[in-house]
Structure 1
């Protein structure tokens, strides 16, 4: 190590370089704060407009943040003498490597633009995307869609993955079906049981009045007929109706005095012992 060269650098340019580093750190901190402030102000302005869709407004705020961060980085590089033209030449020289590294992100970005145009879901919708990720849409960002899953976990799925796989939106239609089953014992009149369940399920809060509940015989089992109990409700009330339907089944069958289905005993013939 050439200590003399290091000493010459420190005595001649060390103070100037140190001041640039301090200035860059201050500029980064102040710039990031200003960028956050600008994003919050723009977001509030878009919210006050009331005509702007929340999904699109969040997307625009994200784009603004990315552009301002690029400007901030270029400004800090300029403080160290790295001019914009030099930076552009550097990027052009490493274009192949950068294109390969950023190819995936650019794909997600392009998919995000298509999602904004096609609008298969909006912020607040309950969806299944990416093959198996189910949750409420929190944000459609530049490169990924952020969901809050039913167990309260924030999950981000790449926009290209979202666009490539089937998208299920449970919020676009006014109601969805709740699937529950109930088994009655052999000897119980299934027609009477169906009528009692239809009446009980119809009284459950938030059950749709446009589409009456479906209660029909689903299949026959050794214990007795298995009934399909299917009320309809908006997705916001799905689990409330799901659990209340189970309670209604227990209460209705208990009030009617229906016996609990029991598995029939299987009689097996035992062969007599072999004689010598």
Structure 2
């Protein structure tokens, strides 16, 4: 075999392969940049038209996946690989993967249904899949929740859609539930009047829905008073803790004794 011809052939072939690899790498980098620009432009246009942020992020994720698949097929076509057969192979692999990863496909389908039914949106305070927090993002397969203690939690869309969904942000206000336990001998009607006056001074309680202060029950320790102010979700915990402090302050100022069941046991004569 002619060594010079072999060297010339190898040099030409290697050079061509290297050029194709460099071109493919350039196509990938430029394609990824263009995909990012397209998604940014689409999301910006949707934001200008006041499209819901949940829908914007979800559609952005779908467009990104579709364009990345198109980019990979285009690069394979540049290398001379028959993309038609590759697409058929990809479809067959998709069926096999779908059977193995049915949970992921279920999450994807659940995400699509949630996008249509809209049980919540980005920014809502919800309880979904056993997690309570603020919705940051509705993804293709999972929803990102930021809990009140500032922990980012991702819950599968299938778990969310198949479980109870509580949205605390839909209605203008929500009720704070607290109970004041009184001792025997304390007049519950007087306590109700004092607690109503104290709770009414708490900042950020609802002006349209006045606090509910009612005689709730009778326990061995004494009567119980339900203290229920209303507040917007944004101020819920502030009103919650302020209500606790108001109950303690009223009891101290009135000089009521500490409830105790042991002190109420009366021996028969």
Normalising by the smaller structure, the TM-score range is 0.7 to 0.9
TM-score w.r.t. length of structure 2: 0.86
**Distance in 1 of aligned mates of 2:192 and 2:119:** 38
Residue 198 of structure 1 corresponds to: 196
Residue 21 of structure 2 corresponds to: 21
Residue 121 of structure 1 corresponds to: 120
Following superposition of structure 1 onto structure 2, how do residues 126-141 of structure 1 map, counting pairs within 5 Å? 126-130=125-129, 132-141=130-139
Cα offset for 1:218? 2.9
Going from structure 1 to structure 2, the CA distance change for 1:9 and 1:151 (only over 3 Å counts) comes to: farther
Residue 159 of structure 2 corresponds to: 161
Residue 106 of structure 2 corresponds to: 107
Structure 2 unaligned segments of length 5 or more: list them. Answer: 1-6
Deviations 1:25-44 (A, max 9, x none): 33323322222222222212
Question: For 1:241, which of 239, 246, 264 is the aligned residue?
Answer: 239
Residue 147 of structure 1 corresponds to: 145
1:257 aligns with 2:239: no
Alignment RMSD (CA, Å): 2.7
Residue 225 of structure 1 corresponds to: 223
Structure 1 unaligned segments of length 5 or more: list them. Answer: 1-6, 270-276
Residue 79 of structure 2 corresponds to: 80
Cα offset for 1:92? 4.4
**Distance in 1 of aligned mates of 2:91 and 2:67:** 21
Residue 46 of structure 1 corresponds to: 46
Provide the aligned length of Structure 1 versus Structure 2: 261
**Distance in 2 of aligned mates of 1:266 and 1:116:** 57
Cα offset for 1:254? 2.0
Q: Are the counterparts in 1 of residues 220 and 264 from structure 2 also a CA contact under 8 Å?
A: no
